[in-house]
Amino acid sequence: MSAKNFQGLKAQAEGAAKDAANAFGQATQDAVNQFTEASQKAIDKASKTVQDGVEKATGQAAEAVSGLGKKCGFKK
């Protein structure tokens, strides 16, 4: 094999390796982005669930206090 042919093969192999590394890097970044997006959606959903629960509990507590006040004669 001539030195020129070897240099050509070497350049092709280096190019293929760079392409593979770039593809792997992009695939990794895509996976990280998907994981981040899914995590954010899960956090948003959990936060909304907690917020809804707090609002419901607050409403129930207000109703209970109001009912207690009526029973004790503080409110009409």
Tens digit of pLDDT for each residue in 39-72? 999 999 999 999 999 999 998 888 888 877 666 7
pLDDT of residue 73: 67
- Mean per-residue pLDDT for 2-23? 90
Say how many Å lie between the first and final Cα of the chain, rounded: 103
The predicted structure's pLDDT at residue 2:
73
List C-alpha distances in Å: 44 to 22, 40, 51. 33, 6, 10
pTM for this model (two decimals) = 0.58
